[in-house]
C-alpha cells in the first residue's frame, strides 16, 4: 500500500513537471552526484595524509595545500560536516532519481515493480559514484585527490559546519556519558588534572611527576625516549686495544656501540666491565672477541614493549633503526626509566641545563629537548604544538619543519601564537632555541 502511494505520487509529480524544470533537476542531480563523489573520496584522502605528507604540504605555498591544512586543523568538525553533506546529497539523489525515471522509459513495468526498479537504479548510482569510484581513487592517490577536492570540501565545510558541530557535540556528550574517550591526549590531560587537584596536599611534586610518567608510559615510542645518533659515542672496530681503553676512560659510559666505518654499520656492543679482566694485556690484544651481539629495534616501537624485551633477553642496550635500516640512535634501560621518574643524574652528568624559563612568555630550550618536555616546562598541554608540528619529536626538529631549511642564528620563525628564535647552531645542528608565546595562551 505504501509503495503504491509513493509510486502514484512520483508519477503524478513527473507528469506535471515542465520540460525546463526537468533540465534543472537533471543539472541538480549531476551537481549532487559530483559533490557526493568529492565528499566521499575526501573522507579517505584527507584522513590518509601522514606526517611526512603534511610536512610537504607546509613547504608548498599553493592555495590547495593551505586549504587542506586549514581544514585538518579541525578534524572532528571536518568529518562531521562531510557526513552531514553526504547524507543530504544521498537523499537528494534518491529523490531526483525517482522523479526523473519516468514511466514511459519502462513501458513493460508498472506498479510496485517500477518503484523497486527505481530504488535499485538509485542504489547502484550511489554505490558507484558515492562509494566505489571516489574511495578507490582517494585510497590510491590521497594527496592528489585532496588537492582536487579541497575547494569543494571547503565549500561543503562552510555549508554544513553548523549542523556538523551539533552532531559532533552530541557525539561528544554521548561518549562522555558512556565513559568513552578515544583521544589519548585528552585522557592524559584528565589524569594530570586529577593528580594536580586531588593529591596536592599528600603528594610531592616529584611523586606527581612519577605518577604522570606511569600514566603516559604506555603511549611513549622509542623515538621519543632514545638518544639521537648525534649524541651517540661509538667505537670504531679497527682501533687498537690501547685506544679502546682510552676512549672508554674518557667517555665514562658503560656500554658502547661498535661499528665498521659509520654508525649505520653497527656490528655489536662492548661493555666496559668486560674489559676489566684484560686491562693488563698488551696493546695488540684482540678485543673484538668481547663484542656482544647487537639488539636492533624500530623507532616506532613502544617503550613498554621494549622494556619487556629487555627483561626477557636480559639486556639493557638497543640500537634504534629507521625504515631503511639506518641508525637513528640508541636507547638504554636508563632512558626508559627516565620516562617514568624523570632525569637520572650520576656523577658524570653535567649539572647545568640550558632549559631556562625567562618569564611566563619566554623560554630558552636545548634543540634536542623533546617537545613534550618543553610543554611541561612551559606548563602547557602536550598537544599545544599539534597544529604546527608534523612528525618531529624535538624542538630542533619542529624548527626545521617550520623553516623548511637549516635556519641562521638569530633568525625568527613565527607560527600561529609562537615565535622561535635561533640562538645557537653549529655543524648543521640547532643547539639552542628561544620560544616566545602569545600572552593569551597562558
pLDDT band at 352 (very low <50, low <70, confident <90, very high): low
Q: What is the pLDDT of residue 7?
A: 44
**CATH 3.10.580.10 domain locations along the chain:** 222-341
Name the 3-class secondary structure at 296.
strand
**Fold observed for domain 356-441:** 3.30.465
What values do phi and psi take at 41, rounded to 5?
A: -65, -35
Checking DSSP bridges between strand 296-298 and strand 317-321, what pairing results, if any? parallel
Q: What is the pLDDT of residue 5?
A: 45
As given in the structure block, the three cell numbers for residue 229 are 645518533
What values do phi and psi take at 357, rounded to 5?
A: -95, 105
CATH of domain 222-341: 3.10.580.10
Are the C-beta atoms of 225 and 232 separated by less than 8 Å?
no
| Alpha carbon distance 190, 198 (integer Å) | 12
Are the C-beta atoms of 57 and 69 separated by less than 8 Å?
yes
**CATH 3.30.465.10 domain locations along the chain:** 356-441
Name the 3-class secondary structure at 68.
helix
pLDDT band at 10 (very low <50, low <70, confident <90, very high): very low
Mean pLDDT of 179-200: 54
pTM of the model: 0.51
Mean pLDDT of 239-251: 88
Name the 3-class secondary structure at 425.
strand
What values do phi and psi take at 419, rounded to 5?
A: -125, 120
As given in the structure block, the three cell numbers for residue 109 are 513495468
Is the model's pLDDT at 257 over the cut of 90?
A: yes
Q: What is the pLDDT of residue 337?
A: 83
Mean pLDDT of 17-46: 84
Amino acid at each position: 500500500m505504501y509503495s503504491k502511494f509513493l509510486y502514484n505520487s512520483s508519477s503524478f509529480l513527473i507528469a506535471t513537471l515542465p520540460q525546463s524544470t526537468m533540465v534543472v533537476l537533471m543539472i541538480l542531480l549531476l551537481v549532487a552526484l559530483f559533490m557526493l563523489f568529492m565528499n566521499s573520496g575526501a573522507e579517505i584522502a584527507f584522513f590518509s595524509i601522514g606526517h611526512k605528507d603534511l610536512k610537504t604540504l607546509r613547504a608548498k605555498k599553493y592555495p590547495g595545500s593551505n586549504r587542506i591544512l586549514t581544514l585538518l586543523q579541525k578534524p572532528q568538525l571536518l568529518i562531521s560536516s562531510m557526513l552531514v553533506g553526504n547524507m543530504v546529497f544521498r537523499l537528494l539523489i534518491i529523490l531526483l532519481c525517482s522523479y526523473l525515471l519516468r514511466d514511459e522509459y519502462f513501458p513493460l513495468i508498472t506498479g510496485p515493480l517500477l518503484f523497486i526498479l527505481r530504488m535499485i537504479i538509485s542504489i547502484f548510482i550511489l554505490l558507484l559514484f558515492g562509494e566505489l569510484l571516489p574511495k578507490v581513487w582517494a585510497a590510491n592517490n590521497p594527496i592528489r585527490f585532496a588537492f582536487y577536492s579541497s575547494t569543494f570540501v571547503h565549500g561543503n565545510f562552510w555549508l554544513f559546519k553548523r549542523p556538523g558541530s551539533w552532531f559532533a557535540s552530541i557525539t561528544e556528550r554521548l561518549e562522555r556519558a558512556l565513559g568513552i574517550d578515544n583521544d589519548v591526549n585528552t585522557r592524559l590531560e584528565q589524569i594530570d588534572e586529577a593528580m594536580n587537584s586531588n593529591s596536592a596536599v599528600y603528594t610531592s611534586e616529584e611523586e606527581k611527576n612519577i605518577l604522570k610518567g606511569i600514566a603516559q608510559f604506555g603511549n611513549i615510542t622509542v623515538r621519543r625516549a632514545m638518544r639521537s645518533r648525534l649524541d651517540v659515542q661509538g667505537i670504531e672496530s679497527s682501533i687498537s686495544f690501547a685506544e679502546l681503553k682510552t676512549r672508554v676512560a674518557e667517555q665514562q659510559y658503560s656500554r658502547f656501540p661498535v661499528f665498521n666505518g659509520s654508525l649505520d654499520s653497527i656490528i655489536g656492543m662492548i661493555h666496559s666491565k668486560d674489559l676489566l679482566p684484560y686491562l693488563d694485556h698488551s696493546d695488540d690484544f684482540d678485543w673484538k672477541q668481547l663484542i656482544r651481539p647487537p639488539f636492533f629495534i624500530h623507532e616506532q616501537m613502544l617503550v613498554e614493549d621494549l622494556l619487556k624485551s629487555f627483561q626477557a633477553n636480559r639486556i639493557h642496550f638497543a640500537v634504534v633503526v629507521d625504515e631503511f635500516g639506518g641508525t637513528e640512535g640508541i636507547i638504554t634501560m636508563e632512558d626508559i626509566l627516565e620516562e617514568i621518574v624523570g632525569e637520572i643524574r650520576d656523577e658524570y652528568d653535567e649539572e647545568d641545563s640550558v632549559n631556562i624559563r625567562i618569564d611566563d612568555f619566554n623560554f630558552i630550550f636545548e634543540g634536542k629537548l623533546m617537545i613534550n618536555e618543553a610543554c611541561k616546562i612551559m606548563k602547557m598541554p602536550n598537544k599545544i604544538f599539534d597544529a604546527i608540528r608534523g612528525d618531529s619529536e624535538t624542538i630542533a626538529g619542529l624548527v626545521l619543519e617550520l623553516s623548511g631549511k637549516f635556519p641562521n642564528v638569530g633568525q625568527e620563525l613565527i607560527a600561529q601564537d609562537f615565535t622561535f628564535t635561533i640562538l645557537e647552531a653549529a655543524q648543521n645542528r640547532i643547539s639552542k632555541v628561544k620560544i616566545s608565546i602569545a600572552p593569551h595562551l597562558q
